[in-house]
A and B are shown apart, each in its own frame.
Chain A
Amino acid sequence: MKIINLRQMNVDQTGIINSIKANGELGQRIRDMGLIKGKEIKVQGRAPLNDPVSLRIMGFTLMLRNNEADHIEVEVQ
Chain B
Amino acid sequence: MSTAIVLAGNPNSGKTTLFNELTGGRQHVGNYPGVTVEKKQGTYETDIGRFDIIDLPGTYSLTAYSLEEVVARDFLVNENPSMIVNIVDASNLERNLYLSVQFMEMGIPVCIALNMMDVAKKRGIEIDIDKLSKLLKVPVVPTIARSGKGKKELMHAVAANAFKDVEPLKVSYGLDIDTALDDMVKLIQPAGFLTDHYKPRWTALKYFENDQQVIEAGKKENKTIALKLERVVQKTADHLSSTLDAHPEGIIADHRYGFVNSILKQGVIRFYQDENRLLLSDKIDKIVTNKFLGPLIMAAVLMGLYKFTFAYSGVPVTFLENVFGWAAGFAQQMLPDGILKSLMISGIINGVGGVLGFVPLIMFMFLGISFLEDTGYLARMSFMLDRVFRMFGLHGSSVMAFIVSGGIAGGCAVPGVMATRTLKSPKERLATLLTVPFMNCGAKLPVFALLVAAFFAESKALVMLLITMISWVGALLVAWALRSTVIKGESTPFIMELPPYRLPTLKGLLIHTLERTWQYMRKAGTVILGISILLWAMMTFPGLNKARLAKFEYKRAAITSGLSLQTLNDIKTLEEKSLTKKALAVKENLLQVDLDQARAALKNSIAGRIGTSIEGVTRFAGFNWQTNIALVGGFAAKEVVVSTLGTAYSLGEVDPQETASLSNKLKKEKGWGPLTAFSLILFTIFYSPCFVTVVCIARETGSWKWPAFSVIFNTILAFTISLVFYQVGSIFF
Contacts and interface: CB of A to CB of B under 8 A. Distances in A.
B378 to A, nearest CB: 13
Contacts of A56: 276
Interface in B484-529: 493-500
A61 B94 CA distance: 13
A62 B294 contact: no
Given A36-B254, A60-B92, A63-B498, A26 B493 contact: yes
B384 A47 contact: yes
B95 A58 contact: yes
Interface in A16-43: 20, 23-34, 36-37, 40, 42
A32 B61 contact: yes
B496 A62 contact: yes
Contacts of B98: 32, 34
Contacts of A48: 289-292, 294-295, 384
B384 A64 contact: no
A61 B285 CA distance: 11
B386 interface: yes
A33 B497 contact: yes
Interface residues of A, number: 36
B725 interface: no
Contact of B65 (A29, A54, A59, A64): A29
Contact of A29 (B95, B285, B493): B493
B91 A65 contact: no
A52 B250 contact: no
A12 to B, nearest CB: 10
Given A36-B254, A56-B276, A60-B92, A45 B286 contact: yes
Interface residues of B, number: 45
A24 B247 CA distance: 10
A47 B383 contact: yes
Contacts of B209: 28
B253 A36 contact: yes
Contacts of B379: 63
A13 B289 CA distance: 18
Contacts of A1: none
B249 interface: yes
Nearest to A49: B387
B238 to A, nearest CB: 14
Given A61-B498, A62-B498, A28 B289 contact: no
A20 B250 contact: yes
Nearest to B247: A23
B551 interface: no
A59 B494 contact: no
A29 B276 contact: no
Most buried by B among A32, A44, A52: A32
Nearest to B211: A28
Contact of B254 (A25, A37, A42): A37
Nearest to B494: A65
A47 B63 contact: no
Contacts of A47: 289, 383-384, 386-387
A23 B281 CA distance: 32
Interface string B275-295: 110000110011001111011
Which 8 residue pairs of A and B lie closest in terms of their CB atoms, listed nearest first? A31-B253, A49-B387, A32-B61, A61-B498, A29-B493, A64-B495, A59-B275, A25-B65
Given A27-B249, A31-B250, 20 more contacts: A20-B250, A24-B210, A28-B61, A28-B209, A30-B495, A31-B254, A32-B61, A32-B63, A34-B95, A34-B98, A48-B292, A54-B289, A58-B94, A58-B275, A59-B94, A59-B275, A61-B282, A61-B285, A61-B497, A64-B493
21 contacts: A23-B250, A27-B247, A27-B249, A27-B250, A28-B61, A30-B493, A32-B61, A34-B95, A40-B276, A42-B276, A47-B383, A47-B384, A47-B387, A48-B291, A52-B387, A58-B94, A60-B497, A60-B500, A61-B498, A63-B494, A63-B495
Interface of B: 60-61, 63, 65, 91-92, 94-95, 98, 123, 209-210, 247, 249-250, 253-254, 257, 275-276, 281-282, 285-286, 289-292, 294-295, 379, 383-384, 386-388, 390, 493-500
Interface of A: 20, 23-34, 36-37, 40, 42, 44-45, 47-52, 54, 56, 58-65, 68
